[in-house]
Amino acid sequence: MRFQCWCLSDKGLKRSGNQDSFLIDERIGVFVVADGVGGHMGGEVASALAVETVREVLGHPKALQFSPREVLMQAYQEASHRIFDRAAQESKLNGMGTTMVMGYFRDSKLYIANVGDSRCYLYRKPYVWQLTEDHSLINEQIRLGFLTEEKAKATIGKNVITRSVGFERDVYPDILEREVFPGDIFLMCSDGLTGMITDQEMCQIFNDNSPEKTTPLFIQQALAHGGDDNVTVLVLNFSET
Ligand code: CA
């Protein structure tokens, strides 16, 4: 199986900086999108620290001695410790944290890990599926039956994240394991995309375009719909060798 990956990040139309970070490391088979939270540079620092830590932990020669789940757990724990400890040292970084969604391709499988409300989708022609579950107040209310998805869409205001990397010292990601087939496309993104386009529009872009053309189209669509937030889109395409 061969893979190709593209990623673009844009600060959007309403924010002065970009607190999203991403990482593509084809050698170790790792693909990451992180969306930092926390004012005064905190968000930027947190998301950058998170992706750096992932590269270090998963790229370490010893990583292959552990199962993919173990090494993903270690990467999230280590990132959370570093962000939490750094925030404790610098008062202007207090309370910073980050979402982090990632794919780790190993032994012909894609392991997907997630904390927060960035997302991973699978496009398998002609449908898209959301693979990750948001750790957000809105999603918890939907799960408990207090809110319908339709009402949630109409809810105004920033979504509150209920789990983040670095806000507390320890963090536990959700981890999924997917068998990969030629033609599968995985999309990882920050909420600057999912807050701006519907799943149907996402599906339409994949249906109408070859995978290498889609990344800028997603960014354009998010900006055309208001560009309220930083937007990062990573597209990972699997094909026959
Ligand atoms: Ca965001």
pLDDT in tens, 66-85: 999 999 999 999 999 999 99
Percent of the chain scoring above 90 in pLDDT: 87
Q: How far, in Å, CA of 140 to CA of 157, rounded?
A: 16
pLDDT category of residue 159 using cuts at 50, 70 and 90: confident
CA 87–ligand 1 middle distance (angstroms): 20
The pLDDT value given to residue 158: 56
CA 181–ligand 1 middle distance (angstroms): 30
Answer for the pair 96, 38: CB distance below 8 angstroms, yes or no: yes
* Farthest CA pair distance, the chain: 51
pLDDT at 149 over 90: no
Q: When comparing pLDDT for 180 and 159, which is higher?
A: 180
**What is the enclosing helix (H) or strand (E) of 60?**
none
Helix (H, G, I), strand (E, B) or coil at 179: strand
CA 201–ligand 1 middle distance (angstroms): 19
CA 222–ligand 1 middle distance (angstroms): 12
Segment 213-220 shows an average pLDDT of 98
CA 230–ligand 1 middle distance (angstroms): 6
CA 123–ligand 1 middle distance (angstroms): 22
CA 234–ligand 1 middle distance (angstroms): 15
CA 2–ligand 1 middle distance (angstroms): 31
Q: How far, in Å, CA of 66 to CA of 79, rounded?
A: 18
CA 209–ligand 1 middle distance (angstroms): 26
Residue showing tokens 């809810």: 155
- pLDDT, tens digit (0-9, with 9 covering 90-100), for 11-36: 999 999 999 999 999 999 999 999 99
Alpha-helical runs (H) found in 1-99: 42-59, 68-89
CA 192–ligand 1 middle distance (angstroms): 5
pLDDT category of residue 155 using cuts at 50, 70 and 90: low
Residue showing tokens 């807050």: 195
CA 211–ligand 1 middle distance (angstroms): 24
pLDDT category of residue 44 using cuts at 50, 70 and 90: very high
Strands 231-239 and 2-10: antiparallel
Segment 40-55 shows an average pLDDT of 95
Answer for the pair 231, 9: CB distance below 8 angstroms, yes or no: yes
CA 224–ligand 1 middle distance (angstroms): 17
CA 191–ligand 1 middle distance (angstroms): 5
Segment 38-63 shows an average pLDDT of 95
Answer for the pair 11, 223: CB distance below 8 angstroms, yes or no: no
Answer for the pair 48, 23: CB distance below 8 angstroms, yes or no: no
CA 206–ligand 1 middle distance (angstroms): 23
Helix (H, G, I), strand (E, B) or coil at 197: coil
The pLDDT value given to residue 156: 54
Rg (CA), the chain: 17
Q: Which domains does the chain have, with CATH numbers?
A: 2-239 (3.60.40.10)
pLDDT category of residue 139 using cuts at 50, 70 and 90: confident
CA 228–ligand 1 middle distance (angstroms): 9
Query: Can you state the percent helix, strand and coil of the chain, rounding each to 5?
Result: 35, 30, 30
CA 34–ligand 1 middle distance (angstroms): 9
Q: How far, in Å, CA of 47 to CA of 20, rounded?
A: 6
Segment 159-171 shows an average pLDDT of 93
CA 38–ligand 1 middle distance (angstroms): 11
